[in-house]
Amino acid sequence: DSGVTQTPKHLITATGQRVTLRCSPRSGDLSVYWYQQSLDQGLQFLIQYYNGEERAKGNILERFSAQQFPDLHSELNLSSLELGDSALYFCASSVAEGTNYGYTFGSGTRLTVV
Amino acid sequence: AQSVSQHNHHVILSEAASLELGCNYSYGGTVNLFWYVQYPGQHLQLLLKYFSGDPLVKGIKGFEAEFIKSKFSFNLRKPSVQWSDTAEYFCAVNAYSGSARQLTFGSGTQLTVLP
C-alpha cells in the first residue's frame, strides 16, 4: 500500500457517459497529479493540483476536468467518453509542488469504455 | 519541453544475466532523474533517483543507474537479474516546463526474465 488511494479500481461504462475517478493523496502530501496510461500513448501527464489550486496542465482533453478539494482529495471527471479513453488512470501525490522527492503513485483506476 | 526516450521496448533475459536499460532525456537545465518500476497489476514504485553529487546512484533490489551529463543519459543496470524482476521500467525526468515542474516519463521498457 503506497498511501495513495484511488477508487474505484475498475470501471466499465458506455460511450457518451461521464465518470468520476477519486484520489486520496498520501497523508501530508499537498500536490496531486493525474496521469493516463494507455498502450499506445504510454504514461501521459494530465494535470496537477497543489493545495486546491491547479498548477500545471499536460495533455488533458477539454472533455476532462479535475479539482482538488479542501481535504486535499482530488477527482478527475471524464465526460462524453469515447472508446479511446479506455486506459489506466493513475493518481500520484507529493509533499510539495516541484518536489525533488519523486511522486508516490496509487494503484490506478482501470477505465473500460464499451 | 523536456522529453525522455527509452529505446528498448521489450527486453528478454535469462536469470543471472546482466541488465542495462537505456534512458536519454532532452532538457538543457538542471534535472532530477528517476527510475520507476511497475510490477504486473501494481502501481509504479520508485527504484532510484538522482539529484546531484555522485553520478552513480544505487537503488533498491540491487539496481543502480549512472548519470552521464554529457550524453544526457541515465541508464539503469543490474548485474544479475532474477525472475522476480519481470516488470515494466520507466525512466522519468523532473524538470521545469513553463512555470511548474513536471515529471515526464519515457514510454517504458518491458523486462521479461526467463527462469
Highest mean pLDDT among A8-22, B23-37, B84-98: A8-22
Measured CA to CA, the distance from residue A43 to residue A85 in angstroms comes to: 13
The pLDDT of A49-65, averaged and rounded, is 92
Mean pLDDT of chain A: 92
Comparing CB atoms, the residue among B46, B102, B106 nearest residue A56 is B102
HEC profile for A60-94?
A: CCCCEEEEECCCCCEEEEECCCCHHHCEEEEEEEE
Size of interface A-B (CB pairs under 8 A): 58
Residues B32-67 have pLDDT tens digits of: 899 999 998 888 999 999 988 999 999 999 999 999
Cis? peptide before A25, omega within 30° of 0 = no
User: Given pLDDT bands bounded at 50, 70 and 90, which one contains residue B97?
Assistant: low
The pLDDT of B7-17, averaged and rounded, is 95
C-alpha cell at B64: 543502480
Comparing B31 with B62, which gets the higher pLDDT? Answer: B62
Residues A73-87 have pLDDT tens digits of: 999 999 999 999 999
A99 has a chain B CB within 8 A of its CB: yes
User: Could you tell me which residues come within 8 angstroms of residue A1 by beta carbon, excluding any fewer than 6 positions away?
Assistant: none
Residue of B nearest to A46 (CA): B102
Angle at A25 between CA A23 and CA B84, to 5 degrees: 90
